[in-house]
Amino acid sequence: MATMLEKYLNILNGLMKRDTPFTAEEMFTYQEVLYRIEVLQVCQTYAKNAPINIEIPNMIKHYQMIDVYFENLKLERKYGMKMDEEIQKKQDTAHQNLCLVINDYRKRFGSFAPQKEGQYKSEIGKVINTFLPAWIGYRNQYIQITSEVSK
């Protein structure tokens, strides 16, 4: 089974092979695919480079970078092709769900004290793996991406 990153890379490759100009909707999709690839790659890098030792200052710096990054992701790129009241409600609900995910990990990490090496890396990996599906769901309320886009 392909990862989400591989799925988006395949969609991007399909879009890039086209000989015809993009429609306005396809241009939105192209930008969104690039955006999601970048976010997934950044999150992958955060997960791979999480500190494994129990030195609190290293963990705090790493955690703060992720937290600020996620905070920005929930606030940026609030646009899409269509906008009506029903879509706005779905976007608001998806945004609230994303905020719940963020508030949950913030609460858990507010008093985080690792007991062994590798514990932070494991826990922050879980945070990233919980955040990304909620973020993708949120982004899908603005621009839905399917594998048919590349055809």
At 87 the pLDDT is 83
Q: What is the pLDDT of residues 102-134, one digit of tens each?
A: 999 999 998 888 889 999 999 999 999 999 999
Confidence grade of residue 62 (pLDDT, cut at 50, 70, 90): very high
Q: Give me the phi and psi of 28, to 5 degrees please.
A: -60, -45
> Which parts of the chain fold into alpha helices (H)?
4-16, 24-48, 56-75, 85-109, 119-140
**Domain segments of the chain as ranges:** 4-14+23-71+85-110+119-150
- Pairwise pLDDT comparison (92 vs 131), residue with the higher score: 131
Q: Give me the phi and psi of 92, to 5 degrees please.
A: -65, -40
Q: What is the pTM of this model?
A: 0.89
